[in-house]
Amino acid sequence: MRDIRVVVDSSVRVEDNKVIIGDYELKFKGEGLRIWIENGELMVEAKNRAMINTVKRKVLNLLKGIKEPYRIELVARYLHFPIKLVYKDNVLEIQNFLGEKKPRYAKIPKGVKVEIKGQNIILSSPDKELLGQAYTNIKRAVFIREKDRRVFQDGIYKVIL
């Protein structure tokens, strides 16, 4: 089955089912999958339609993200114990969370830019998947166990505008 036609520029390359756009690589595996560039269009051939649509959507998301990076804004909220945020070497350190002596850590994937302004965290990246992984890692780091979430509402939350 052959369907996809995504218009691409000269910065897009294909090597062994790997689409390379600038510094970013998208690796694809699939039965009968073949990706190539023909006349300025990215072409995909695969045995099933789902794989074709997956490749198309991931490439389009990355092309869009390179033009204008995706962003997630987070805010650290606390009632009694002020949370201190430190970002260094692709790790976000969350200090004094719920008054704990040991800091909590969230690994941030390479390719995600982190800005900390007081209690606000801004994550940005051209790659939607990396951005989602960074957000998930932060949420896991501040997950509260064995306490009532209705009482202990401290945490890092997504800002919804």
DSSP notation for 25-62:
EEE---TT-EEEEETTEEEEE-SSHHHHHHHHHHHHHH
pTM of the predicted model, to two decimals?
0.85
Mean pLDDT of 34-49: 86
Residue labelled with tokens 């995504």: 6
pLDDT at 4: 64
CB 103 within 8 A of CB 94: yes
Q: What is the pLDDT of residues 62-92, one digit of tens each?
A: 989 999 999 999 999 998 899 999 999 999 9
Mean pLDDT of 91-99: 95
pLDDT at 145: 86
Tokens coding 154? 């401290």
**What is the distance in angstroms between the CA of the first residue and the CA of the last residue of the chain?**
42
**What phi and psi values does residue 6 have, to the nearest 5 degrees?**
-115, 125
Distance CA 150, CA 154 (A): 10
- Contacts with 74 (C-beta within 8 Å, 6 or more apart), sequence order: 120, 121, 122, 123, 135, 138, 156, 157, 158, 159
Q: What is the pLDDT of residues 145-158, one digit of tens each?
A: 888 877 878 899 99
Which one, of 124, 117, 88, lies nearest residue 105 by Cα? 88
| 21 pLDDT tier (thresholds 50, 70, 90) | confident
Does residue 3 carry a pLDDT above 90?
no
Torsion of CA 47, 53, 58, 63, to 10 degrees: 120
Mean pLDDT of 35-42: 86
Structural domains in the chain, CATH included, are: 2-67 (3.90.930), 70-158 (3.90.930.12)
Most confident residue range from 2-6, 50-54, 144-148: 50-54
Which one, of 137, 131, 87, 158, lies nearest residue 95 by Cα? 87
